[in-house]
Amino acid sequence: MKRPSRRSFLASSAAALAAGPAIAKPAPAATAATDVVIVGAGAAGIAAARRIAAAGRKFIVIEAENHIGGRCITETRTFGVAYDRGAHWIHTPEINPLTKMPLRGGISIYAAPPNQKVRIGRRNARAGELEDFLAAQVKADRAIAEAARKGDGSCAQALPGDLGDWQPAVDFLLGPFSCGKDLSQVSAADFTKSAERNADAFCRQGLGALIASLAAGIAVKLSTPAVAIDTRRNVTVETPRGAITAHAAIVTASTNVIASGAIKFTPQPSNRHLDAFAKLSLGSYDHIALELAGNPLGAESDDLIFEKAAGARTAAILANVSGTQLCLVEVAGGFGRDLAAHGEAAMVDFAADWLAGLYGTDMKKAIKRSHATRWNDEPYVRGAFSAAAPGWQGARRILMEPIRNAVWFAGEAVHETLWGTVGGAWASGERAADAVLRRLGTAREPPTLLVEPHQRRRLHAAPNTLRE
Ligand X SMILES: Cc1cc2nc3c(=O)[nH]c(=O)nc-3n(C[C@H](O)[C@H](O)[C@H](O)COP(=O)(O)OP(=O)(O)OC[C@H]3O[C@@H](n4cnc5c(N)ncnc54)[C@H](O)[C@@H]3O)c2cc1C
Residues in touch with ligand X (CB under 6 A):
2, 39-45, 62-65, 70-72, 86-89, 91, 225-226, 252-254, 257, 262-263, 285-287, 373, 375, 380-381, 384-385, 411-412, 420-423, 425
How many Å separate Cα 415 from the centre of its chain? 12
Closest CA to 245 of 31, 33, 29, 30: 33
Report the distance separating Cα 95 and Cα 277, nearest Å.
26
Closest CA to 185 of 395, 394, 390: 390
For the CB of residue 141, give the shortest distance to ligand X in the complex, in Å.
20
Contacts for 233 with CB less than 8 Å, ≥ 6 apart: none
Looking at beta carbons only, is 143 or 248 nearer to ligand X? Answer: 248
Looking at beta carbons only, is 98 or 125 nearer to ligand X? Answer: 98
- Paired with 251 in beta bridges are 39, 409
For the CB of residue 322, give the shortest distance to ligand X in the complex, in Å.
13
Looking at beta carbons only, is 136 or 399 nearer to ligand X? Answer: 399
Looking at beta carbons only, is 363 or 436 nearer to ligand X? Answer: 436
For the CB of residue 376, give the shortest distance to ligand X in the complex, in Å.
9
Report the distance separating Cα 371 and Cα 427, nearest Å.
31
Looking at beta carbons only, is 65 or 303 nearer to ligand X? Answer: 65
For the CB of residue 112, give the shortest distance to ligand X in the complex, in Å.
10
Looking at beta carbons only, is 359 or 419 nearer to ligand X? Answer: 419
Task: Let me know how long the chain is.
Answer: 468
Query: 412 near 385, Cβ under 8 Å?
Result: yes
Report the distance separating Cα 194 and Cα 145, nearest Å.
11
Q: What is the DSSP letter of 288?
A: E
Report the distance separating Cα 123 and Cα 298, nearest Å.
11
Looking at beta carbons only, is 276 or 366 nearer to ligand X? Answer: 276
For the CB of residue 254, give the shortest distance to ligand X in the complex, in Å.
5
Instruction: Kindly give the pairing relationship between strand 34-39 and strand 242-251.
Output: parallel
Report the distance separating Cα 321 and Cα 327, nearest Å.
6
The pair phi, psi for residue 38, each rounded to 5°, is -110, 125
For the CB of residue 389, give the shortest distance to ligand X in the complex, in Å.
18
Quick check: helix, strand or coil at residue 424? helix
- Paired with 200 in beta bridges are 91
Looking at beta carbons only, is 166 or 181 nearer to ligand X? Answer: 181
Closest CA to 284 of 327, 246, 335: 335
Report the distance separating Cα 218 and Cα 466, nearest Å.
46
Looking at beta carbons only, is 407 or 422 nearer to ligand X? Answer: 422
For the CB of residue 167, give the shortest distance to ligand X in the complex, in Å.
25
Looking at beta carbons only, is 39 or 183 nearer to ligand X? Answer: 39
For the CB of residue 159, give the shortest distance to ligand X in the complex, in Å.
24
Own/partner pairs, 257-260, CB within 8 angstroms, 24+ separation: 257/380, 257/381, 257/382, 258/409, 260/382
Question: For residue 237, what is the enclosing H or E element?
Answer: strand 235-239
For the CB of residue 22, give the shortest distance to ligand X in the complex, in Å.
12
For the CB of residue 49, give the shortest distance to ligand X in the complex, in Å.
11
